[in-house]
């Protein structure tokens, strides 16, 4: 009897130890009793500084069944490397323009980190001159090969590249404002991290809405709405706002010309992509911030405080559906400081949007 009890205890201990040493994402994947629907994700720019880590993170996501990795060069090696990870997704690599259609066909979600990274002294406006053409070309391919896919735009400057994609889709007759997103999750990630550090609270419990755009003063974290509530001074709030706005520059300078925010951006991009996939699968109450077409402000594009993704059912505040974002939540109450920031960002954000639109219409 004692021997049987001991064997039972050892089995429980081994089981507990195994679970403790296994990453939670892998545990959920192994023991899930209800397999997720088949979902194909295409990553355009998969061999780059953001593309490689986000390819790995999407390979780890149990909601992905097929992962198409595309870049102009280097993709076969990245695909071979990532394909060895023992998770659900089947990985294929595609290189050169002639294989772009194959990469995109059948995609439910397209993630675009393609383009050049920012270097010291380079503004997001400088990036526009290079990345605008890349985004335009890729958007044309998406319109042709997977016009119904959700599109997550990471390529900077997001304030302009999202309008570029929108104009391309409009010109091809496939534009759906509910399915085009500028990925601004990194600003939220930074705001949460910086707020938790200053307030001395558990970052896992922190939420900070971020509105506006995705560069400089167009990034507006709403620390007045942050949770958990703390008693930070006005000076602290201003310093946190400034650091959030300058987060990208902080990384560029720290890397001293050898790169920009790639790992943190990949992490943030994977969070947003996961939210999109959950929404497609009908998971309720999926909420994220994003740069989208909206009527929250008088600007044609902006980042409202929150988006509700692709959900079935109803709530007290929004009507939801499975075909994309059907309604965006408003900004909520702003402090005087945040209201001033909102007014200050509008001119720059409007200019960036118009630059993207003019690029497509003038080419």
Mark the binding-site residues, compressed into ranges.
45-51, 71, 118, 124, 131, 154-156, 190, 265
Output the six-digit token pair for 94.
């595609």
Cβ contacts of residue 235 below 8 Å, gap of 6+?
none
Residue 194 backbone phi and psi in degrees, to 5: -65, -40
Stretch (H or E) spanning 319 = none
Rg for the chain, CA atoms, rounded: 21
**Which amino acids are annotated as binding site for substrate, given as ranges?**
118, 124, 156, 190
Please tell me whether residue 250 adopts helix, strand or coil conformation: helix
| CA distances (Å), origin 287, targets 79, 209, 274, 302 | 31, 11, 11, 16
**Active-site option among 92, 214, 278, 303:** 214
Give buried/exposed letters for 135-162 (b at 16+ CB in 10 A, else e): bbebbbbbbebbbebbbbbbbbbbbbbb
Is 317 an active-site residue? Answer: no
Output the six-digit token pair for 206.
């922190």
Q: Is the sign of the CA dihedral 282, 286, 290, 293 positive or negative?
A: positive
3-state helix, strand, coil in the chain (%, to 5): 50, 15, 35
| CA distances (Å), origin 70, targets 56, 138, 315 | 14, 11, 39
**Which amino acids are annotated as binding site for NAD(+), given as ranges?**
45-51, 71, 131, 154-156, 265
Burial class (CB in 10 A: 0-12, 13-18, 19+), 299: middle
Residue 309 · residue 97 · CB < 8 Å:
no
Active site residues: 214
């Amino acid at each position: 009897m004692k021997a049987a009890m001991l064997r039972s205890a050892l089995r429980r201990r081994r089981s507990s130890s195994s679970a403790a040493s296994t990453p939670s994402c892998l545990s959920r994947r192994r023991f899930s009793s209800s397999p997720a629907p088949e979902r194909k994700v295409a990553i355009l720019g998969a061999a780059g500084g953001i593309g490689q880590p986000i390819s790995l993170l999407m390979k780890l996501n149990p909601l992905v069944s097929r992962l198409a990795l595309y870049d102009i060069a280097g993709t076969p090696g990245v695909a071979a490397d990532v394909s060895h990870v023992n998770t659900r997704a089947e990985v294929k690599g595609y290189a050169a323009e002639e294989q772009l259609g194959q990469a995109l066909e059948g995609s439910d979600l397209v993630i675009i980190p393609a383009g050049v990274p920012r270097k010291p002294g380079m503004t997001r406006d400088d990036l526009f001159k290079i990345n605008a053409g890349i985004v335009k070309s890729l958007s044309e391919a998406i319109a042709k090969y997977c016009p119904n896919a959700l599109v997550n735009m990471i390529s900077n400057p997001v304030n302009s590249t999202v309008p570029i994609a929108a104009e391309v889709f409009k010109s091809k007759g496939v534009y759906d404002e509910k399915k085009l997103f500028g990925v601004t999750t990194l600003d939220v990630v930074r705001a949460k991290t910086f707020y938790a550090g200053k307030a001395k609270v558990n970052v896992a419990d922190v939420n900070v809405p971020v509105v506006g755009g995705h560069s400089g003063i167009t990034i507006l974290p709403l620390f007045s709405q942050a949770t958990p509530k703390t008693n930070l001074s006005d000076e602290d709030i201003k310093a946190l706002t400034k650091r959030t706005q300058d987060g990208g520059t902080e990384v560029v300078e720290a890397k001293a010309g050898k790169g920009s925010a790639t790992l943190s951006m990949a992490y943030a991009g994977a969070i947003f992509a996961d939210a999109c996939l959950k929404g497609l699968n009908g998971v309720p109450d999926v909420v994220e911030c994003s740069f989208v077409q909206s009527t929250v402000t008088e600007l044609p594009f902006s980042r409202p405080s929150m988006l509700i993704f692709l959900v079935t059912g109803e709530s007290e505040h929004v009507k939801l559906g499975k075909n994309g974002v059907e309604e965006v939540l408003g900004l909520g109450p702003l402090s005087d400081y945040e209201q001033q920031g909102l007014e200050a960002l509008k001119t720059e954000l409007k200019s960036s949007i118009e630059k993207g639109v003019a690029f497509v219409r003038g080419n």
